[in-house]
Amino acid sequence: MALRKYIPSSDAPSGSMKPLIFSSKGRENAQLAEPETSHRRVKDVDVDLSEVYFLIMHFLSAGPCQRTYVQFWNELLEHQLLPRRYHAWYSRRERLSGDENDNGLSFPLSYKSLEERYPHIEKNHLVKLLKQLLLNTASPSEGLISDVPNAADVPTLLGMGSFSLLSCDRVKGNGQVKHPPAHMRWPHRHADQVRGLSLREIGGGFARHHRAPSIRATCYAIAKPLTMVQKMQNVKRVRGHRNAVYCAIFDRSGRYVVTGSDDRLVKIWSMETAFCLASCRGHEGDITDLAVNSNNTLVASSSNDCIIRVWRLPDGMPISVLRGHSAAVTSIAFSPRPGSAYQLLSSSDDGTCRIWDARSSNLGARIYVPRPPDPVAGKNSGPSSSSGPQSHQIFCCAFNAHGNVFVTGSSDHLARVWNALKSNTDDSDQPNHEIDALPGHENDVNYVQFSGCVVPSRFSMADSSKEENIPKFKNSWYSQDSIVTCSRDGSAIIWIPKSRRSHGKAGRWIRHYHLKVPPPPMPPQPPRGGPRQRILPTPRGVNMIVWSLDNRFVLAAIMDCRICVWNAADGSLVHSLTGHTQSTYVLDVHPFNPRIAMSAGYDGKTIVWDIWEGTPIRIYEISHFKLVDGKFSPDGTSIILSDDVGQLYILNTGQGESQKDAKYDQFFLGDYRPLIQDAHGNVLDQETQLVPFRRNMQDLLCDSGPSRVHRLHEVKRSRPLEDNQGKHKGS
């Protein structure tokens, strides 16, 4: 190839190009183990950039980026950046030889000449050099954690190993190692590194503040949804209840699953082995809701027997019995506020809400009662001195991200916002009233939710090629105090808080967008003149509504089997997703990938959606029964589902080796034996006169066959129980 593109000036030869200097202190760290060389200082080495350019060009020549390869070739020729051939010392002279590229000392070699000159250099020589670098350098986590699997040990060129400039730069003068930025440090005490390795394998990232040092800002790096879901193919089916399981949740760590059923039982399961660890008995009605507190020590269950019971994780030991509601308890939620891990919020059909201390049955609850209407003006009046029964029911409640306020939805078509930090001014029975009422619906408000964590609307995406499919938004940030409410009137409303100046005053939230459910798509009609198909009206009520992980979208499960997705910034309908053939009451978003959502319905289908593109990623036909509840695991690698006949479905990655010994039917011998109850709600097993918790530890876990029994050891391994903790108050 002729070199005719660029003629360098005689006063600026290409040989004067400054070499790139790399620090070899990583090599020095690797030599610390050798006593004879531990104090030897290794000098910096000069790297010839022309050789680096040649290796890059050689690598590109065999790759798919051929246009880049040609452009790079032209750039190298123009600037004469390829290696040069130097004349022998006796033939060097100031006078040029006549070659236009000869400066008297050297002349550049063409790419073809370099290939012939260095036949041992293969196309992947650059990759082999980097691989050798990885093999010869120390592990990134060396010296931090010993004999523990670490996600930082996964080979990567972008990490903070001993060869990285970030971790090897030393403070000049004192020789101390400069620590990386705080956001790149690995929080060993809080992170689940084994699960981090599995996330890395399936193409996912780490949750915020639980990421490996080899991944920068992974909480904003979005993997392709198909990569996240394609290995979630192992399905384990077990049964531990006689009736429908309307409540199924994960604990905060993802190691345990808690289920609540209409058979009045609450059961705790091991996610690793799929064994039932504990059966919590005591309720006299259907289980209506479950909640796990923020420090992952307690699980609370509510029932239509008007009682809330609190159990210890993971062994199911009873902690407290919370009595005070006069009607069914419809919803419960633990406070997310730091320092308030034991504050439990409940709503009830008696028209009140209460905040309890979940650790004690003796402490009174803080009561919240809606402000009574003004009989003259028809508006809310001042404080009421009565906490008597209300004419409406409260169906749902939810805390905001800070835990200082909560919102409820009720049968009087209103959503209300309450101050969770407000306490009674005296010791009387004066209740607390709402700080704002949100009118706008024409039917029962059956679901409410605050927006989640504040997340920037711009991401560094792993699949940036799809960025053109993402709707553009007006705002870059969304408030944690924004509220979405839905109703069976076929609408949802986004409420946003006013300015900080109006904090604590009436009318603090204003209606931002009224999201109307569009009509369903019209079925295909026959040609003109043929019989016309009669179109029956379909219900367009909203069963459930959630925010997307990044607060950009609002997702709703509609009664006509669709999933509607709205843009939260302007209220426009983005997608109307079809795939279910019966009503859907399960809707959840992925814990760290904002593109992924999951829905399950009465048709037995579970569909994982890409809500950015509006397409199903994967459809699971796992049941012929109605799926009534389900959740993503905290690490995003598993899905738990429950149906109306007491079955539990576990969708996760891997081959299910650890779950192969778990039988289909898992019942304790005393699950449905009679109980006796004292005046405080504490119960004993009538046959053994033991606390049900104690009987579970003695009984065998049985499957459907009478001759096959399996004893569980997970509870005994979880933590030792003190004798005084095991004694029940009623015994």
Most distant CA atoms of the chain, gap in Å = 113
Across 93-107, 235-249, 605-619, least confident range: 93-107
Residue 88 belongs to a domain: yes
Domain for residue 675, yes or no? no
Q: Which tens digits make up the pLDDT trace of 434-491?
A: 999 999 999 999 999 999 754 333 333 333 334 444 444 444 345 678 999 999 888 9
Three-state DSSP at 95 gives coil
The pLDDT tens digits of the residues spanning 81-136 come to 888 776 655 454 555 555 566 666 777 788 888 888 888 888 888 888 888 877 77
89 inside domain: yes
CB atoms within 10 A of CB 398: 18
Which amino acid is present at 678?
Answer: D
Q: Tell me if 512 is assigned to some domain.
A: no
The Cα–Cα gap between 278 and 29 comes to 51
3-state SS track over 472-531? CCCCCCCCCCCEEEEECCCEEEEEEECCHHHCCCCCCEEEEEEEECCCCCCCCCCCCCCC
Residue 212 pLDDT greater than 90, yes or no:
no
- In this prediction, residues 185-208 reach a mean pLDDT of 46
Q: Is the pLDDT at 431 greater than 60, yes or no?
A: yes
Cβ-contact 240, 229 below 8 angstroms: no
Q: Is residue 216 part of a domain?
A: no
Lowest model confidence (mean pLDDT) among 41-55, 145-159, 486-500: 145-159
Given a cut of 60, whether residue 509 has pLDDT beyond it is yes
Residue 481: per-residue pLDDT: 84
Considering its fold, how many domains does the chain have in total? 1
pLDDT at 44: 63
Q: For the ranges 197-201, 511-515, 573-577, which has the lowest average pLDDT?
A: 197-201
Dump the DSSP string for 429-454. -PPB--SEEE---SS-EEEEEE--S-
Q: Tell me which of 509 and 134 has the higher pLDDT.
A: 509
Burial class (CB in 10 A: 0-12, 13-18, 19+), 17: middle
| pLDDT value at residue 465 | 38
CA dihedral (608, 610, 616, 617) in degrees, to 10, reads: -70
- Dihedral sign for Cα 475, 476, 478, 484, please: positive
Q: Is 374 within the bounds of a domain?
A: no
The amino acid that residue 147 corresponds to is D
User: Per-residue pLDDT averaged across 270-288, rounded?
Assistant: 95
pLDDT for the residue 116? 84
Nearest in space to 157 (alpha carbons), one of 137, 172, 179, 171 = 137
User: Quick one: pLDDT at residue 622?
Assistant: 87
pLDDT at 224: 72
Q: Give percent above pLDDT 70 in the chain.
A: 65
In a domain, 53, yes or no: yes
Position 693 scores a pLDDT of 87
Whether the Cβ atoms of residue 625 and residue 642 lie closer than 8 Å to each other: no
Reply yes or no on whether the pLDDT at 429 is more than 90: no
Domain that holds residue 85: 49-121
Lowest mean pLDDT among 79-83, 319-323, 395-399, 681-685: 79-83
On whether the CB atoms of residues 496 and 502 are closer than 8 A, the answer is no
Range from 197-211, 240-254, 410-424 carrying the lowest mean pLDDT: 197-211
SS3 sequence of 298-344? EEEEEECCCEEEEEECCCCCEEEEEECCCCCEEEEEECCCCCCCCEE
Of the listed ranges 12-26, 375-389, 602-616, the least confidently predicted one is 12-26
pLDDT of the residue at 485: 96
Judged against a pLDDT cut of 50, whether residue 148 lies above it is answered with no
pLDDT band at residue 502 under the 50/70/90 scheme? low
Pairing between β-strand 553-558 and β-strand 563-567 as defined by DSSP bridges: antiparallel
| pLDDT exceeds 90 at position 381 | no
pLDDT for 549-568, tens place per residue? 989 999 999 998 999 999 99
Say what the pLDDT of residue 708 is.
38
Distance CA(309)–CA(307), nearest Å, equals 7
Query: Which amino acid is it at 586?
Result: V
Which stretch of DSSP H or E encloses residue 693?
A: helix 692-698
Q: How confident is the model at residue 382 (pLDDT cuts 50, 70, 90)?
A: very low
Residues 228 and 232: their CA atoms lie apart, in Å, by 8
Give strand ranges (E) for 517-633.
Answer: 542-547, 553-558, 563-567, 573-577, 584-589, 596-601, 605-610, 615-621, 627-632
Letter string b/e over residues 492-514, b meaning 16 or more CB atoms within 10 A of that residue's CB: bbbbbbeeeeeeeeeebbeebbe
In this prediction the pTM is: 0.66
Is residue 403 within 8 A of residue 337, CB to CB? The reply is: yes
Residue 528 pLDDT: 64
Q: What is the mean pLDDT of residues 156-165?
A: 55
Query: What pLDDT is recorded for position 101?
Result: 65
Distance CA(416)–CA(390), nearest Å, equals: 15
Distance CA 22, CA 50 (A): 15
Q: Stretch 686-693: mean pLDDT, rounded?
A: 90
Contact 160, 179 (CB under 8 A): no
Report, as an integer, the average pLDDT of 153-172. Answer: 51
The alpha carbon dihedral of 681, 687, 690, 696 has a sign of: negative
Count CB atoms within 10 A of the CB of residue 653. Answer: 19
Q: Within a domain: residue 81?
A: yes
Mean pLDDT of 335-363: 94
Query: Which segment, 332-341, 363-372, 414-423, is predicted with the most confidence on average?
Result: 332-341
In the predicted structure, residue 399 carries a pLDDT above the cut 50: yes
Among 35-39, 231-235, 414-418, which stretch is predicted with the lowest mean pLDDT?
35-39
The least confident of 185-199, 238-252, 297-311 is 185-199
